Amino acid sequence: MIYDVNSRGIHTVRVTLQNEDFIGHFTRKIKGNVHGRDILDFDFESDDIESVSSDCSIKYDEDDNSFSVILKNNKGVELLLDGMDAEEMNDMIVGLEIIDFVPESEVDNE
């Protein structure tokens, strides 16, 4: 990945959630002229969680204004967390990483 802070484009960000030894990840795409730390300033209260990929079945329930997620430990045991509010979800964020960047000039504009 070549990261040009002077270029508009699409960032792919990996968000890591953890509760005890249970971990899950999801990725999301962010478009526009935002770079670096601003891209990594994620908040469940105000940001869309529409993910590109996920290993934790993350979902948002608009009726309850709550989240659910399934985290796994290294033994394959699953932990279902349901009815979580945005603050509880934010408390589980242990990692944010830009894993890809595609400059606007390389984006297929179909």
Cβ neighbors of 101 (< 8 A, separation 6 or more) are 1, 2, 3, 4, 9, 10, 11, 12
Print pLDDT tens along the chain (110 aa). 788 788 888 899 999 999 999 999 999 888 877 888 888 888 787 766 666 789 999 999 989 999 999 999 999 999 999 999 999 999 999 999 999 998 888 876 54
pTM here is: 0.86
Rounded CA-CA distance 22/55 in Å is 12
* Domain regions of the chain by residue span: 9-103
Which one, of 76, 71, 68, 74, lies nearest residue 94 by Cα? 71
